Amino acid sequence: MFIFIVGVNFIPAKVFCNQEIVLFGDSLMSGYGLDEEFHLSTVLQKSLKEKGFNVKILNASVSGDTTSGGLNRLSWLLEGKKIDIVILCLGANDMLRGISPSLVRKNLSQILKILTEKKITVLLAGMVSQESFGEKYKNEFDKIYPELAKKYKVSFLPFLLDGVALNPELNLTDGKHPNPKGVNLISKNLEKKLIKLLNN
């Protein structure tokens, strides 16, 4: 006996899976100074859902956080949670305080080590240093992110604020944090990397 099923579209099982994505950073990703509807987590989740991705984005970014602070709270973040992807962007506050690039590297390396050992996919978003601490500091700081991305073989966005930094039209009046337009651009830049990870 033959059974014919007509009019049924077979969709890969992964389409039905809810992918949990975590933003793990500082005020640049936390939604500093903005209503929740303009937070990066809200904007990015909405855009991905509109494209058919079943995702939930958790905003675990903390304003003022450093790489040391991020490392200290990582175990709390991971405890009892099933996380598929972490978007990691820490180091801006370390740089603004002139913290040694070697310490920034050590902390980020440890965070990446823990995440990769737990089989969590990582999108590392880099930062670049201002020049107020000198050329040597900037050179040492700026090479941290591409080198760690290569070492841990993770997806990499060279600069979280690409196209946003120093543009008054895309930042709040403090000149440091993205406004809704800036968040939209950051979301689009991250989305290009995320879609590749979600399709794997």
Instruction: List pLDDT tens digits, range 10-66.
Output: 334 344 468 999 999 999 999 999 999 999 999 999 999 999 999 999 999 999 999
Is 60 among the domain residues? yes
Residue 2 has pLDDT above 70, yes or no: no
* Model confidence pLDDT, tens digit, residues 85-132: 999 999 999 999 999 999 999 999 999 999 999 999 999 999 999 999
Q: Hey, which residues does 125 pair with through a beta bridge? A: 157
Q: What is the DSSP string of 112-154?
A: HHHHHHTT-EEEEEP----STT-HHHHHHHHTHHHHHHHHHT-
125-38-77 Cα angle (round to 5): 50
CB atoms within 10 A of CB 4: 4
CATH number, residue 184: 3.40.50.1110
Is 2 among the domain residues? no
pLDDT band for 81, please (50, 70, 90 cuts): confident
Domain count, the chain: 1
Positions marked catalytic: 27, 174, 177
Is 21 among the domain residues? yes
166-171-173 Cα angle (round to 5): 105
Is 47 among the domain residues? yes
CB atoms within 10 A of CB 149: 20
Residues 6 or more apart in contact with residue 170 via CB below 8 angstroms = 163, 164, 178, 179, 181, 182, 185
Check: CB of residue 21 under 8 Å from CB of residue 59: no
110-112-118 Cα angle (round to 5): 105
Check: CB of residue 99 under 8 Å from CB of residue 107: no
Is 3 among the domain residues? no
Residue 84 has pLDDT above 50, yes or no: yes
Looking at residue 195, the DSSP 8-state letter turns out to be H
Q: Which domain holds residue 175?
A: 16-198
Is 122 among the domain residues? yes
Is 5 among the domain residues? no
Is 126 among the domain residues? yes
